[in-house]
Amino acid sequence: MKISLNWIKEYIPGFQYESLESLTDKMTATGLDIESVQDESVKFNKFVIGEVLEKKSIRMPINFQFVR
């Protein structure tokens, strides 16, 4: 069965962990079998999140040229 880390956070009050390795160690210490762990955050490590703080209007003529 696959279990999401978000699911664990939602259903276990006060859930905290230092790393995925420490989490799997704690889970196996309680008697749970863990077949594999997939860190999905690796797929998104190049994403940058920003916030727009200000918007300015710039009035400039823009010319587009399409080239094949």
Whether the per-residue pLDDT at 68 is higher than 70: the answer is no
**pLDDT tens readout for residues 25-37:** 988 998 989 898 8
**CB contact at 8 A, 26 and 17:** yes
Answer positive or negative: Cα dihedral of 20, 2, 9, 6: positive
* Segment 38-63, tens digit of pLDDT: 888 888 888 888 888 888 777 777 77
| Average pLDDT rounded to a whole number, residues 63-67 | 69
